[in-house]
Amino acid sequence: MAAQFIKFERTGTAVVGLVVPTKVTEREAGVICDEVGAAGQNAGWRVALDLSEVMLLASAGLGALLTINKQCKAGGGALAVFGLSEEILGMIRLTKLDKVLQIRPDRDAALEALG
């Protein structure tokens, strides 16, 4: 089955996923977790997520990022997130999730963080 909410691109030893919906609520969060899970497993759990299209990241979306991060670490890989709007970055900092998630300024930095 093709991904509904993420456009994936394989780059070397990692996978880059562009999150397509402009808002990530409970409806999208579960599907995104499933899609990243399938793609991440095939890439050794090294995943870079591009959130540049996302304007609203609800609490379920934050939870999805934490779940994906946990999956990646459990699989011996890592998650790096980039392309965050100032509003979403501010919310992530406010909730202290920037201490848990690898937030990078751009795609190249995200891929570099994944090794």
Q: What is the pLDDT of residues 54-108, one digit of tens each?
A: 999 999 999 999 999 999 999 999 999 999 999 999 999 999 999 999 999 999 9
Cβ contact 110:104 at 8 Å:
yes
Give me the residues paired with residue 14 across strands.
11
Cβ contact 86:106 at 8 Å:
no
Nearest Cα to Cα of residue 102 among 74, 76, 68: 68
Percent of the chain with pLDDT over 90: 94
> Under 8 Å CB-to-CB from 51, ≥6 apart: which residues?
19, 57, 81, 82, 83, 84, 85, 88
What domains can be seen in the chain, in order of their start residue? 6-114 (3.30.750.24)
Q: How many CB atoms lie within 10 A of CB 76?
A: 9
